Structure 1
Amino acid sequence: RFIQQNHNGYVLAESGAILEYLQETWDSGGLLKPQGIDDKLQYRFWLHYAEGSLMPLLLMKLVFASLGKPPVPFGVRSLGSLLGKGIQKTWLDPQLATHARFIDDHLAARPWFAGERLSMADIQMSFPVMALLARGGMHDLVHIEAWRQRVEQRPAWQRAIERGGPFTLPGA
């Protein structure tokens, strides 16, 4: 279906590239891209950080948490569970905690990822940050929580929830 409805014959992959294309094509007023150099650099950083740094860790958490469950063969589930829990406890969870603190510290100084207003960087970061909150088992991330509340209070977010149903993560 997408191939039949793509814009101007372009087939795009990678969420950051798609968001940049959408912004450049339909955001003629530049509302979703910062104008100042400092905010532009933050914008670019967070567009890539989401998929390049945070999502791989979240995906690993999902995989390692699944090692003790079907479809892993019954005979190796206990070993898989032990292995998965061990890797999460000794390496993965501390990594996620470091990233969570980094994000929380960044949001302590500004309301949005790339400055004083919502940008495509916030849209890009929305899924991994919400997955981190749901699966990370971390607390006291007050600036991330405040950011999440700002996102969820936006009329566009509320319309999306009305149309698509509540935001949920499988297995969360």
Structure 2
Amino acid sequence: MIILHHLNQSRSKRIIWLLEELGVEYKIQPYCRDKVTFLAPPELKSAHPLGKSPVLEDNGLIITESGAITEYLIETYGNGKFMPERGTQAYIDYIQWLHFAESSAILPLLLKMFVTKDGAKMNFLGDYADMETQKVMQYFDQRLADKTYLIEERLTGADFMMSFIAEILGNYGVLAAFPNIQRYAEQLQTHQGYQTAQALELQYNGE
């Protein structure tokens, strides 16, 4: 059976959504962040030495990094769903968005989070994080113009990955500044698998 090591309020919620959409049998091993430090509990290191989530176990394999997990699950259990045909321009776009989520898109958002949590006046980092966030999210917003989904007008792994970025913007209260992303986020939320993942996230949130 597939086991997902899931940390609350983390990237692993999108893996729950993907597992739901794939219709595969799986089990969640939940972990909760420390309410003061917001760090993962040390028990998560039993799944992987870095103590980070998501971690996926499947048939003796241990897979980390949400992009790699997304690719693995879709290629192993998707039966052609959720990814374009290899060798096409759509496939190239798909791979770019998979990597964009955890590279260009996430970095300025993480910087903003760290600056906010630190609370100290900074000479450079705060303004840089704001500038990069605007630049990157405006690009994301523009690429969604006249689109329902990122690739081929259907749900793909790119959307599972980028859903986390849209959620962060919503958590920051700035989603309305990017109308195409807001519309996109609302579309993703219509999927039953997304709603199930959200319910499970709340269930395992440790509150």
Give the corresponding residue for 2:122. 83
Pairing 1:162–2:176 present: no
* CA pair 33-139 structure 1, distance change in 2 beyond 3 A: same
Q: Deviations over 1:123-171 (max 9, x none)?
A: 01111221133227464311101110010011111122233328x9xxx
Aligned equivalents of 1:58 and 1:43: distance in 2?
A: 22
Aligned equivalents of 1:32 and 1:138: distance in 2?
A: 25
TM-score after normalising by structure 2? 0.66
Give the corresponding residue for 1:119. 156
Q: Share of identical aligned residues, percent?
A: 28
Give the corresponding residue for 1:61. 112
- List runs of 5+ in structure 1 lacking aligned partners: 69-80
Number of residue pairs aligned between Structure 1 and Structure 2: 151
Aligned equivalents of 1:31 and 1:103: distance in 2?
A: 23
Aligned equivalents of 1:137 and 1:160: distance in 2?
A: 23
For 2:165, the aligned partner's letter is P
Give the corresponding residue for 2:166. 129
Cα deviation, residue 19, structure 1: 0.5
- List runs of 5+ in structure 2 lacking aligned partners: 6-46, 48-55
TM-score after normalising by structure 1? 0.78
* CA pair 111-122 structure 1, distance change in 2 beyond 3 A: same
Give the corresponding residue for 2:81. 31
> Pairwise CA RMSD of aligned residues?
2.3
* CA pair 106-141 structure 1, distance change in 2 beyond 3 A: same
**Going by fraction, where is helix more abundant, 1 or 2?**
1
**Which has the larger Rg?**
1
Give the corresponding residue for 2:27. none
Give the corresponding residue for 2:69. 18
Q: Deviations over 1:67-94 (max 9, x none)?
A: 12xxxxxxxxxxxx2117x632x21111
Aligned equivalents of 1:16 and 1:120: distance in 2?
A: 9
Aligned equivalents of 1:109 and 1:35: distance in 2?
A: 23
* CA pair 21-160 structure 1, distance change in 2 beyond 3 A: same
* CA pair 152-164 structure 1, distance change in 2 beyond 3 A: same
SS in 1 for 2:121: helix
Pairing 1:41–2:92 present: yes
For 2:191, the aligned partner's letter is R
Aligned equivalents of 1:27 and 1:138: distance in 2?
A: 31
Aligned equivalents of 2:173 and 2:106: distance in 1?
A: 12
* CA pair 66-140 structure 1, distance change in 2 beyond 3 A: closer
Aligned equivalents of 1:136 and 1:99: distance in 2?
A: 17
**Going by fraction, where is strand more abundant, 1 or 2?**
2
For 2:188, the aligned partner's letter is V
Kept after mapping to 2: 8 A contact 1:43/1:114: yes
For 1:130, the aligned partner's letter is E
Give the corresponding residue for 2:14. none
Pairing 1:102–2:139 present: yes
